A and B are shown apart, each in its own frame.
Chain A
Amino acid sequence: MLTAGIDIGSLTTKALIIDEDKIKGYVILKSGHLFEEAGNEAYKLCLEKCNLTNDDIKYIVGTGYGRALISFANENITEITCHARGVYYYFPDAHTVIDIGGQDSKAIRIGENGKVLDFVMNDKCAAGTGRFLEVMQKALNIETLDMMGKLSLNSRNPAKISSMCTVFAESEVISLFAQKKAKKEDIVAGLHTAIAKRITGMVNRLGRVQEKIIFCGGVAKNVGVKKALEQELGKPLYTPEDPQITGALGAALLAQERYQKKKKI
């Protein structure tokens, strides 16, 4: 049985189709400023990629910041519940999930069957999110987020970033760079450490982390942030093959469950 998950995040939109528990294919697009269109487009491309039509799909769950705007979805579920379910698919022994997306970062404690037990999200502020990194990446004139991560691995002497406010940190970064007070890789490494400290504080609010921690969301593709987080948490982090799609995957998996439940009734 085929189901789909559509995850409209603040920066990227993901569509994914599964057959029972096998991933048929997925698509990642920029969300732009028309969320609804991004959702339609991602779903259409994903169907094409899998050689399927809309009629083949039994149930669709929408998630992410734009979840309420997906008119063709059967229901919407938050990205917190979906990420937990998606992570559980890859790591059934996962205990805590750290997800850093475009405008939200969250720490989720998961229990049996990938159900959410507790979660903490960032306050209403861009500090420690993908958007924060994106602003810094532009300020430092680095082409991609991925390159930013790799660059930071060369750092021998990470710069100290005193402000975590996106706007103030941006000017701090620009002045460090313009006055040649720090090398680019050191500034980037400093930014990653600053994010890692902020996220670690959030994770600690869930209580002590004993078990396996999974890192997902778009920012998990940045090896520098991952390394900084591992240092702060004092534990290795596990990342799914493509950490950006766990939300859409969780949505598609929950769609399977929902469809089965509905059929029984």
Chain B
Amino acid sequence: MDILEKMYEAAEKLPNSWINDWKKTGKVLGYLCSYIPEEILHAAKILPIRVTARGHSESTLADACMSRLNCPFARYLLDTVLSGKLDFLDGVIAYNSCDHIRRMFDNWRLRHKPPFYHFLSIPHRADELAMKWFQGELSNLRSHLESHFKITISDDDLKESIKLYNNTYDLLQALYDLRKREDPPIKGSDVAAIMTACLSMPKEAFNDLLSQLLDELEGKEGYSDLPRIMVVGSLVDNPEYIKIIEDLGSIVVTDSHCFGTKYFSDKVKIEGNPIEALSARYLLKSPCPRMIDERTGHEKRLELIKSLIKEYYVDGVIFERMTMCDLWSGEIFMLQNDLKQLGVPTLILERDYIISGVGQMKTRSQAFIEVLK
């Protein structure tokens, strides 16, 4: 199996063979937000997995607990939980990203109790007060892990994990740097598989695979003369979504969502207190629309998107808007207006969590690509 095939295999469904191997001797915890520091779990010798409903296409069990007005991602994920497909997890870290996800966690906790459940409260601002609060939250997570799993997590353990993760962030940046080329040597759909694999396997193994892949890609001839697209939105854990857009005659060269740049574009400081360093990195990283203050609000998101457009020579932006997403619905309309004024063509592509209505999706994407040509 070549490296890319291994990435696709790891991204396809949960649990994958990497997780099954790990489970023979170790513990696995699930989380589902780019604000949860994986580094702390890694320092506890636990494998953190970003859970989604990938590989699952039912929502009947969840439909008994949540309405059609709830986020489809939350519904499909709850269905995955209730169907027992995530029973391999030794626990879950819950958090307050949006109300749909909070209700999903309530149902998970009450109807399908996980062996370990920790609620991490993430502030919506990144000022000094919030920073202190978040440090307290991260320390609580650390001691809860220590008492539940009967382990100790030293500062040195944390620093080792931070180094490993910084290495992952560097490698991912190197992968993205290749996409800045006039002829990107890798398609956006393949990068989507790599990103999802990154969040579904041990980082040691992933870093190793990605380094090998980067060597292979270095001298490879790429895809040129295609309109260059950036995808902005909540999450893309299915390479097929990107493939549909690319198969119509375009190439996706970068993104601003949490299975992409929002995951890796900020590093953690190695010097000093590791909890303080983690707290600063996560609260100040490329922000999700859940963040509201001046350092992490709309202006910051726009600024980052603008610089990505420049760095990656983006011709047009596609907003993938999950139906019923409260956080992104308003944000996307604002961003779209801003980008229009800058003369950047945009398209809002509404979607369900699972891929459905492919015909309509294709018409909109193809027409958008025709505008870019």
**Partner-B contacts on A (CB < 8 A):** 65, 68, 77-81, 103-104, 116-119, 121, 123-124, 207
CA distance A81 to B352 in the complex (A): 26
- Residue-wise, chain B 335-359 has the 8 Å CB interface mask toward A (1 for contact) of 0000010000100001010000101
Which of A80, A117, A207 lies in contact with B363, CB distance below 8 A? Answer: A80
List chain B residues, Cβ under 8 A from A116.
367, 370-371
List chain B residues, Cβ under 8 A from A104.
360, 363
Q: Counting CB contacts under 8 A, is B83 at the interface?
A: no
**Partner-A contacts on B (CB < 8 A):** 323, 340, 345, 350, 352, 357, 359-360, 362-364, 366-367, 370-371
Given A123-B350, A124-B350, A117 contacting B371 (CB threshold 8 A): yes
Can you list 14 contacts pairing A with B, beta carbon distance less than 8 Å?
A65-B359, A77-B370, A79-B363, A80-B370, A104-B360, A104-B363, A116-B367, A116-B371, A117-B371, A119-B367, A121-B360, A121-B364, A123-B350, A207-B340
Q: Which 3 pairs, one residue from A and one from B, show the smallest C-beta to C-beta distance?
A: A80-B367, A78-B367, A81-B370
Closest chain A residue to B336, Cβ basis: A205
The dominant DSSP class at the B interface is helix
CA distance A117 to B357 in the complex (A): 25
Which of A81, A124, A207 gathers most chain B CB within 10 Å? A124
Let me know if A65 and B363 touch, CB within 8 A. yes
Sample of 4 more A-B contacts, CB < 8 Å, known A80-B367, A80-B370? A79-B363, A116-B367, A117-B371, A119-B371
CA distance A78 to B373 in the complex (A): 13
List chain A residues, Cβ under 8 A from B363.
65, 78-80, 104, 121
List chain A residues, Cβ under 8 A from B367.
78-81, 116, 119
CA distance A78 to B367 in the complex (A): 6
CA distance A124 to B351 in the complex (A): 8
Let me know if A78 and B366 touch, CB within 8 A. yes
A124 to chain B, nearest CB (A): 5
Closest chain A residue to B356, Cβ basis: A124
A52 to chain B, nearest CB (A): 29
CA distance A256 to B265 in the complex (A): 48
B328 to chain A, nearest CB (A): 14
CA distance A68 to B340 in the complex (A): 31
CA distance A79 to B357 in the complex (A): 17
List chain B residues, Cβ under 8 A from A123.
323, 350
CA distance A95 to B359 in the complex (A): 27
Let me know if A124 and B360 touch, CB within 8 A. yes
Let me know if A118 and B350 touch, CB within 8 A. no
CA distance A81 to B345 in the complex (A): 15
CA distance A121 to B352 in the complex (A): 16
B73 to chain A, nearest CB (A): 16
Let me know if B371 and A118 touch, CB within 8 A. yes
B120 to chain A, nearest CB (A): 34
CA distance A235 to B134 in the complex (A): 55
B263 to chain A, nearest CB (A): 28
List chain A residues, Cβ under 8 A from B360.
103-104, 121, 124
List chain A residues, Cβ under 8 A from B345.
118
B106 to chain A, nearest CB (A): 28
CA distance A103 to B357 in the complex (A): 12
List chain B residues, Cβ under 8 A from A103.
360
Given A78-B363, A78-B366, A124 contacting B371 (CB threshold 8 A): no
Let me know if B357 and A124 touch, CB within 8 A. yes
Let me know if B357 and A78 touch, CB within 8 A. no
List chain B residues, Cβ under 8 A from A77.
370
CA distance A121 to B371 in the complex (A): 14
List chain A residues, Cβ under 8 A from B364.
121
CA distance A65 to B157 in the complex (A): 57
List chain B residues, Cβ under 8 A from A68.
362
A66 to chain B, nearest CB (A): 9
CA distance A9 to B340 in the complex (A): 30
CA distance A211 to B360 in the complex (A): 29
B80 to chain A, nearest CB (A): 23
List chain A residues, Cβ under 8 A from B370.
77-78, 80-81, 116
